[in-house]
Amino acid sequence: MADQHYLPAAFIGRFSVGRQGRLRKRPIWVRRVGGGSFQTTARHVAYQDGLYDVTEPSPLPYAGDGSWRYEARLTQALDALGDARRPLDGRLWAEVLVPFVSSLFIRGIDFEARYRARMGGLMSAMHDENDDTFDERWRDTVAIGRTTDWQRLLAPTMAAQWTVFHGSGRPILPTSDLGYCLMNGPDRSCPAAYAIPIDPCTVLAVFARRIRRLLDWNGRSWTANVQHVAIADEGVHELRHALHQAALNEVYGPTNESVDWHRENAESSASGAGAQYLINAASNRWLIPYVEDYFKVLRIVDGDWSDAAKAGEVDWEVVSRHWSSTIQMHLKMPRYPGGLILFGHSVYIDLGRFTADHVKRDLGSFQTASQP
């Protein structure tokens, strides 16, 4: 078994006062539930031995430790996301930031507990007291569950409203082993949103939306639709408190004061909120009609506006350059056209074109195939 990070070490390294050397080797402060604070480097936290290991040889498709191709450009993308002076490059948004944000809900050590709660019936059916292979088979099932959920979450992650909040720099933010916390949503249709600190002064907030403008063509390149607003110091303090409450076991920050524990419950948490407020449904099965939309967006940002009309079909060569996890396709079901719309010189997504009733009607008996 190998040490497998469930948060990128370079991402955690952004929460360091150090400015020299690789991000993963920079010093951070850590505070654990029920313990004191201490200093270490970013690469020595947020990992677990064999977290993504499966039975070998495994015929199953799964999201493993080699699936996080977005990490190679994550620092560049997060720097660009936090820069309110310039439009965000659409390729960085699609190729790096969308998979990063969506992976926060499937990559962590809390995924298995949430998956177990959803799949209790399946687990019971699989379990046999006389079967010594149950643990291995369940680990494989969790691995394929990560893959299935990740692909389904790509569309609602794109459809969500992305707003970057900029603090003054006086109160500073940590992150946690969960990578996000909940914050109040903007209206009744979205009661909660996700706050994802991207550095000690900046937070990305993701609000669920069904219809949204994703990308604009400016005549030279694609830009992503991201808003920037200032946040008062009081709001930063509230977010820091929420991050401490949401942490599973640890918080990471640039100073001892930033990780000073503000938590009512002194015990570890088994599970985070998951993506429930992103999908706004008990099951993510209603997202099946939109599972190809992200891969179509990869084709769009790979070309110019004249190429966008071709995005009705997936270009697997383009996908292979940016997506390294297994792709799952549902057979014995209609090939849904998805929710992407081209209008003016913009790309929109509408997640209301197909509903759970469409999927229930069409699903029937299906099998899952892997796209190489």
Looking at per-residue pLDDT, the higher value among 331 and 1 belongs to 331
- The mean pLDDT of 108-124, rounded to a whole number, is 79
Pick the closest to residue 60 from 138, 122, 116, 144 (CA basis).
144
Find the Cα–Cα–Cα–Cα dihedral 68, 72, 78, 84, rounded to 10°.
-130
Q: Which residue has the tokens 């820069």?
A: 83
State the CB neighbour count (10 A cutoff) for residue 148: 20
* Cα 31 to Cα 38: distance, rounded to the nearest angstrom: 7
pLDDT value, residue 267: 59
| pLDDT (0 to 100) of residue 45 | 97
Number of CB atoms found within 10 A of residue 280's CB: 17
Q: Are 157 and 209 in contact (CB under 8 A)?
A: no
pLDDT at residue 322 tops 50: yes
pTM for the predicted model, two decimal places: 0.91
- Confidence band for 73, pLDDT divided at 50, 70 and 90: very high
Give 312's DSSP letter: G
Angle 84-9-105 (CA atoms, 0-180°, nearest 5)? 75
Instruction: Calculate mean pLDDT across residues 231-247.
Output: 94
Write down the mean pLDDT value for the chain: 87
125 pLDDT more than 60: no
CB 12 within 8 A of CB 179: no
Task: Indicate the pLDDT class of residue 18, thresholds 50, 70 and 90.
Answer: very high
**pLDDT score, position 366:** 42
